[in-house]
Structure 1
Amino acid sequence: MKILYVSSSTVPSRTANSVHVMKMSQAFANNGHDVTLIASEMHATAQPGVEDVFSHYGVEKNFSLLNLAVPKLPGQGYLFGALSAWHAWRGGYDVVFCRNFAACYFSALLGKPVIFETHMPMGERKLLGRIFFKRLLKSPRLKQVVVITHALKRRMEQDYPQIKGRVVVAPDGADPVADDVVPMSLDAAEGRIQVGYVGHLYKGKGMEIVSQLAARCPWADFHVVGGMEEDLDHWKRECAGTDNIVFHGYVSHQQAKAYIKAFDVVLLPNQRKVAAYDVGEISQWTSPLKAFEYMAAGKPIIASDLPVLREVLIEGENALLCDCEDVEAWGGALARLRDEPTLAKQLAERAKAIFLEKYTWQARAAALAATLATRS
């Protein structure tokens, strides 16, 4: 199948959505499809100094990448969508897989079968976006709507009852961690637990917990990997005087695997409200990439006990879950993993087994392609 994958993600950048579309493009290609990914620079600044985009994300060069430039004008998102649709029509693609709803709408107008993936409720879009989406829903060319959590599926079907039966839940994923990935050297003192957090540091992602946990647990070393410069500066100031926390800054997605592999325990401390850059409140719908990357590495996970995370993480089976605001509970969970190495090993092994069974990018791509085949 010849697939055009359209995303308004900036590639390369520090955004999770750029990781998602690069990994999914690779996965579709690994499943035997001819894939072209269209990306843009509308919503994020390109990461400087990246010589090879594919190695930066740790993906094979088995698909084509086209960065589509559009003028920074009012309505540029719709212009991007229209130009992407024209590319789909001209290129003779069998299906257009869209993370950009304008591209989905215009591609359907031009007669192309389309799949639309959204990680946020469309009912929270601006008025013009909601109007276009309602029109898209009337098109027989729309084959399915893909969401990342069951919570988001329920919300989409509540807002748009006409799409019941066409909404597919496909959680985010990760690639299996190769045996030859060398753990990052952390210069750790013997006997100290190495605790890691990988991801953004904006409000609601959980640095509120990590910073207090480090102060509460002086017997462990805490490593924070990722973040924008302004967030790093803020948390470095907040943690001044806490000697057992290290900020490693931004690293490529590929390098992050080496850090995760070096940690003894990993943290997923999402709060009840998470305000993502340029998107808004995502806590009710999110399917964090780091959850699957932690599972892929076979690490014991301590995570926030939130409904959306419980779609993947199960208390006592593949993670320990804590009230997202209860630092004492997080400290107790971490001490438990320190004192019960058998439990830590069991959680890690079960998390990896569940990941390999359900949550690889390649399995996700294969399932979506199979669903499309049944609806064509």
Structure 2
Amino acid sequence: MKLAYLSASTIPSRSANSIHVMKMCQAFGQLGMMTRLYVPDMPADALAAGESCHSRYGVARVFEIERVWWSKLFGRQYVSGFLAAQKAVRDGAQFALARCIPSACFAARAGLPVVFEYHQPISDSGRLSRLNELLFDGLITAPGFRGLVVITHALKAHFLERYPQLAERIFVAPDGADPFPADVQPVDLQAAGGRLQVGYVGHLFAGKGMEVVAQLCRQAPFADFHVVGGLERDIEQWKAELGGQPNIRFHGFVPHARTAAYIAAFDVVLLPNQKRITWHKAGGDIGQWTSPLKMFEYMSAGKPIVSSDLPVLREVLQDGRNALLCAPDDIPAWRAALERLNDQTLRTALGEQALMDFTAQYSWQRRAESILKRFSDND
């Protein structure tokens, strides 16, 4: 089957969205789908000499990438979405998974079977939310519309409250990760013997949890803290705020294909999401809907996780079973959790259970299989 993956992601970039898109295209390709990713031909991160988009993300060349015209004019995302849908139809696509509203709407109204995936409320899509709501209304009444994929049950409940007619067409598929590479060589953290090595991987913008890490490293002098990721300006801001704190190290941005080597080196990993996570300049909040990629990457590595105790994260994590959960703003509780994890037996038990849960449910390939099983039989 020819599958068109329609996305508005910048490829390559540092965004979690782009990682999700590339990993899902790989998963569909590995399942035997003739997969082509359509993305806007917009300014993107530079590739190193000899590097490709596929190698930047650590994915196999089992799918093609096609760039779609992108202008500097207002409304360019809608023009690009229309052109991507038009190209997919002309290329003979038999099925489409769309991550942007314009391309999903145009493709479905052209009769192409479309599954639309969205990770936040339509009303929270920035300054053009109202137009996107109108397009979504057009999408769900289009002849090609097959269903909606969301990443959490909380987000499903939100959509059902506003669109009860979708009751039989919404499917929850949490984010995922690749199986942890068996041959990965942990980075040398240059750690002092016996000290707990605690890692955080991800962005540093408001609500992702650097607020917790900054306080925790001061209150847990028995551990070394490692931060992997973040924009340069955010790293410099946190370095200045911490004022030379000796037990925290910022490793900077690391291409996604290399983050496994850092995760492998950590004794404990942190998922300190806050209740509110700001994700764009308009102030959109994804805190109550999110399904963090790093949660599944930590699980795939079999690492013990200390996580914020939030309803959306409890859809996957269970306190004392596959993670330790703490109130997002209770720093003494986070310190106590790290003290407990000085116990190697507890670290092993939590990590092994997390790995078993990941293997059973949360790989990218299982995710792709579940979406195809749910929707492709409806044609």
Residues 123 and 159 in structure 1, CA contact (< 8 A), matched pair in contact too: no
1:165-218 CA-partner distances (Å, limit 9, x unpaired): 100000000000111011111111110111000000001111111011111111
Cα pair 2:110 2:144 within 8 Å, conserved: no
C-alpha deviation, 1:41, in angstroms: 5.4
- Among 226, 241, 245, the alignment partner of 2:244 is 241
**Partner letter of residue 47 of structure 2?**
G
Q: Which whole-Å deviations, capped at 9, do the CAs of 1:59-87 have from their partners, x for residues lacking one?
A: 00110011223102111111011101110
Matched, 1:29 2:32: no
2:206 paired residue number = 203
Q: Deviations over 1:100-119 (max 9, x none)?
A: 11001111121111110000
> 1: CA distance between counterparts of 2:220 and 2:68?
48
Choose the corresponding residue for 1:337, options 341, 344, 356: 341
> Are the equivalent residues in 2 in contact too, given 1:114–1:141 (CA < 8 A)?
yes
The CA distance in 2 between the partners of 1:148 and 1:258, in whole Å, is 27
The aligned runs of 1:211-226 (5 Å cut-off) are 211-226=214-229
Instruction: Provide the secondary structure at the position in 2 that maps to 1:47.
Output: coil
Instruction: Give percent identity, aligned residues only.
Output: 50
Measure, in 2, the Cα distance between the counterparts of 1:182 and 1:32: 30
Quote the Cα distance in structure 2 between the aligned partners of 1:40 and 1:225: 28
Contact 1:9 1:41 in 2 (8 A): no
Matched, 1:322 2:326: yes
Question: In structure 1, how many angstroms separate the alpha carbons of the residues matched to 2:116 and 2:251?
Answer: 36
Counterpart code for 1:311: E
Matching residue within 280, 286, 301 for 1:282: 286
Query: Which is worse superposed, 251-260 or 274-283?
Result: 274-283
Q: Deviations over 1:302-322 (max 9, x none)?
A: 000000000011111100000
- Residue by residue over 1:98-153, the C-alpha shift from the partner in whole angstroms, topping out at 9 and shown as x without a partner, is 00110011111211111100001113342111111111111231101000000000
Runs of 4+ aligned structure 1 residues displaced above 3 Å come to none
The match for 1:193 is 196
Give the counterpart letter for 2:157 in structure 1: R
Aligned to 2:264, what secondary structure does the other structure show? helix
Q: Distance in 2 between matches of 1:77 and 1:162?
A: 28
Q: CA RMSD in A?
A: 1.1
1:52-201 alignment runs, 5 A limit: 52-125=52-125, 126-201=129-204
1:47 to 24, 40, 45: 45
Q: Distance in 2 between matches of 1:240 and 1:3?
A: 51
Q: Which amino acid aligns with 2:56?
A: H
CA offsets per residue over residues 224-249 of structure 1, 9 Å max, x none? 00001111111111111310100000
Question: What are the residue-to-residue correspondences of 1:10-21 with 2, within 5 Å?
Answer: 10-21=10-21
2:295: which partner in 1? 291
Distance of 2:63 and 2:87 partners within structure 1: 16
Is the contact made by 1:8 and 1:99 (CA closer than 8 Å) also made in structure 2? yes
Gaps of at least 5 residues in structure 1 are: none
* In the alignment, structure 1 residue 268 sits paired with structure 2 residue 266: no
Deviations 1:281-314 (A, max 9, x none): 0001000000000000110000000000000111
Number of aligned positions between the proteins: 373
Unmatched tracts of structure 2, length 5 or more = none
8 Å Cα contact 2:39-2:84 kept in structure 1: no
The answer to whether the 8 A contact 1:214-1:221 is kept is yes
Separation in structure 1 between the aligned mates of residue 31 and residue 291 of structure 2, nearest angstrom: 23
TM-score, structure 1 normalization: 0.97
Amino acid at match of 2:161: Q
Contact 2:47/2:53, CA 8 A, preserved across alignment? no
TM-score (norm 2): 0.96
- Partner-residue secondary structure (3-state), 1:168: strand
